[in-house]
Amino acid sequence: MRSPWAMRHELLLDFVMTIDPAAKAADTFPKLLLEHARMHSGRTSVREKDLGIWQSWSWSEVGANVRALACGLAAMGFKRGDHLAIVGDNRPQLYWAMTAAQALGGIPVPLYQDAVAQEMAYILKDADVRFAVVEDQEQVDKLLEIKEQLARLEKIIYEDPRGLRHYTQPFLHAYSEVQRTGKQLDACEPGFFRQEVDLGEPDEIAIMLYTSGTTGRPKGVCQTHAALIAAARGACEFDRLGPGDEILSYLPMAWVGDNLFSYAEALVGGFTINCPESGDTVMTDMREIGPTFYFAPPRVFENLLTQVTIRMEDASRAKRALFRYFLDVARRCGADVLDRKPHVSLSERFLYALGDLLIYGPLRNMLGMSRVRAAYTAGAAIGPDLFRFYRSIGVNLKQLYGSTETCAYVCLQPDRQIKLDTVGLPAPGVHVKIADNGEVLVRSPAMLKEYHRRPDATAEVFDDKGYLRTGDAGFFDADGHLKIIDRAKDVGRLASGAVFAPNYIENKLKFYPYIKEAVAFGHGRGMVCAFINIDLGAVGSWAERRNLAYAGYSDLAGKSQVYELIQRCVEQVNAELAADPMVADSQVQRFAILHKELDPDDDELTRTRKVRRGFIADKYADLVAALYGGKGSQRMQTAVKFEDGRSGIVEAEVQIRDAATHASQRKSA
């Protein structure tokens, strides 16, 4: 068998054949755009669903739009080195604003569009933002609310003028108005734009992305053109992405994943990005577009599977039987068929082909994944069963590993070398090594230049040999695949000295469609206890089928029938944990179903929906004490923030249950 290195070399050669020659010389994003606009002006660059129809823009139209906007920004006083905040859903106009800022030597700073005003204030202040391009009235209102605190913010440019007619503030400008001014300037000084673009150097900062702030305040990660382009080239080459490929851009623009896939790779590979109509229509829009490349965090795959499961439970008996039968077939041989393993028997192959015709094909179509060549997931660990499900129905789902600091480009799983519990081989050009304490260290061309105004953090993140500390704990397996267990700092020990990896347990729990979030405690304690958030959709539909009436989340979460349902899930997880000697001591002995949903607005989750374990432990200290104190229930009063910014109190008597544990197989053996 050939070594993975030889295969990677082969891929590299393939890549040289497929990638656009035009894209190779350009070393900044604006230059890349100009090359595409010149070389294949008529090809579709971006689509957006508007008024129920997919509207498209060709590369040359995008070029003209960016040019007009950049000139307009310059006319309003935007200078090299200025920061441009970008807030809104994925809209072509907002992506153009990124290129326009870069064309002028400025630095775009995308923000999470659902952040509340005060969270934005911190970032806008930290980044010294002078100009902001926002989507609509909602975002304008948020910025106006905090304008007083932001002495440096000079201009707000909005894309959708609806509802803004009576806003008279002189610093508010319509996107189209800025473009109009830009065209006038461009007509007077036709050389200006090109000259500004040519001034751009690859080692200048291309974008500033803020870390999600799982620990403390968000930090601005400065990535250069060179770093992002290196990551995008490597990734495009790895999966042979190029013109003709389609992706759906629906993840927050402030997230490094969207920046790499929808922006950097689209400009490097020259493929088409598609912006959905709204956040609520992503499912339908995805079916209509049929992307060839798909990226989603595990929770999206989880939600999709939950929806499929719910809908199948409502299907007729015959359909359910057919579904179950063929999913069994897929579970046995689906992943092997996808990996083109030779040992699958002829009868299994026949059954799988039949299943593909009857179940998997239509299911992939429903999910909008009929044309997907490569689907990736990252951002959090994915449950092995969830991962296996997608691969078994023929979706080439793979894992990658990366972070904001590394342009989301460290490890990738090559086709046909998929392992459920690893994140793949180091990507082309990336060196990975494991520190003595188990931390994963990375050196690559796609690393951050610095943290914005945080030399202390920058110094801390690099070791003396120039390797970046990822903060994740992991190790290489026998085939050279990297395996991540948890955040290095989260891995703790039980009082008995056994390893306690909370993420690992939580992910196992969250694989059950009824469980939306879980928080495990155990570091320095005698046993593991957990908080559970039920999935309102899945448990709600389960309750409806049993004629169990409920009034909202809190009520449903407190029902004893629901507790029994969740208890069964917890006990199954315990059985799985018992099977692995490493984690057998981490079985969940007591649990409580929280009376409210964990929410980023209450700071319990990050904007990327990772649980903030420490914060939750403090906030629900009474409940944690009750779990470990052996109490049967605990009265809880919890403050919540509603979406409109007001706050209230949720009060409930939270029940606590014991779960059965299993003897470790090591001990019984």
Partner 1 sequence: MSATASARRLGDVLLRLQGISLSFGGVKALDDVSFDVRHHEIRAIIGPNGAGKSSLLNVINGVYRPSQGVVTYKGAARRQMRPHEAATQGIARTFQNIALFKGMSVLDNIMTGRTLKMHAGFLFQCLYFGKARREELEHRERVEHIIDFLQIEHIRKTPVGRLAYGLQKRVELARALAAEPELLLLDEPMAGMNVEEKEDMCRFILDVNDEFGTTIVLIEHDMGVVMDLSDRVVVLDYGRKIGDGSPDEVRGNQAVIDAYLGVRH
* Residue ranges that bind partner 1, judged by CB under 8 A: 50-53, 162-163, 165-166, 277-278, 280-281, 284, 642-644
Neighbouring CB atoms inside 10 A of 633's CB total: 15
Cβ closer to partner 1: 81 or 163? Answer: 163
Cα distance between residue 133 and residue 84, in whole Å: 7
Q: Could you give the C-alpha distances from 581 to 569, 578, 587, 663, 668, in angstroms and in order?
A: 20, 7, 11, 10, 11
Residue 122 neighbours by CB under 8 Å, 6+ apart: 217, 218
Smallest gap from Cβ 632 to partner 1, in A, equals: 34
Cβ closer to partner 1: 125 or 287? Answer: 287
List the alpha helices (DSSP H) in 210-255.
225-238
Smallest gap from Cβ 631 to partner 1, in A, equals: 34
> What six digits make up the tokens of 527?
């046993």
Picking from 40, 111, 32, 103, the residue whose alpha carbon sits closest to that of residue 66 is 103
Smallest gap from Cβ 249 to partner 1, in A, equals: 17
Smallest gap from Cβ 50 to partner 1, in A, equals: 7
Cβ closer to partner 1: 77 or 163? Answer: 163
Picking from 79, 180, 97, the residue whose alpha carbon sits closest to that of residue 133 is 97
Cβ closer to partner 1: 84 or 304? Answer: 304
Cβ closer to partner 1: 77 or 648? Answer: 648
Cβ closer to partner 1: 281 or 365? Answer: 281
Half-sphere exposure of 409 (CA within 13 A, CB side): 30
For 373, list phi and psi in degrees, rounded to 5.
-90, -40
Cβ closer to partner 1: 161 or 361? Answer: 161
Cβ closer to partner 1: 35 or 160? Answer: 160
Instruction: List strand residue ranges (DSSP E) for 42-192, in order.
Output: 44-50, 53-58, 83-87, 107-111, 131-134, 155-158, 172-174
Cα distance between residue 106 and residue 198, in whole Å: 13
Residue 323 neighbours by CB under 8 Å, 6+ apart: 312, 315, 359
Cβ closer to partner 1: 280 or 436? Answer: 280
Answer yes or no: are the C-beta atoms of 274 and 246 closer than 8 Å: yes
Cβ closer to partner 1: 456 or 643? Answer: 643
Smallest gap from Cβ 601 to partner 1, in A, equals: 13
Residue 213 neighbours by CB under 8 Å, 6+ apart: 219, 606
Answer yes or no: are the C-beta atoms of 130 and 78 closer than 8 Å: yes
Cα distance between residue 286 and residue 463, in whole Å: 42
Smallest gap from Cβ 158 to partner 1, in A, equals: 15
Residue 340 neighbours by CB under 8 Å, 6+ apart: 416
